[in-house]
Amino acid sequence: DKVMRLCDTHNIPLATNLATAELLIMALDRGDFEFREAYR
C-alpha cells in the first residue's frame, strides 16, 4: 500500500500484475516515456 502511494505521489509507473509489467516494458522499449525529458 505504501509503495503504491509513493508511486502515485511521484508519478512513477507501477505494475501490479504481469500484463501491466509487460505493457510498461514494451512502452519503455518503444520510447513512449521520452516525453518526460521534454517535460522537465
The pLDDT assigned to 1 comes to 85
Give CA separation, 7 vs 11, 12, 39, in Å: 6, 5, 18
pLDDT in tens, 1-40: 899 999 999 888 899 999 999 999 999 999 888 776 666 5
pLDDT of residue 25: 94
Q: How many domains does one find in the chain?
A: 1
Sign of dihedral through CA atoms 28, 23, 5, 9? positive
Give pLDDT, residue 11: 84
Instruction: Give me the domain span that covers residue 11.
Output: 2-39
The C-alpha cell that represents 21 in the structure block:
509489467
pLDDT for residue 39: 60
Please tell me the predicted confidence (pLDDT) of residue 33.
80
pLDDT of residue 6: 94
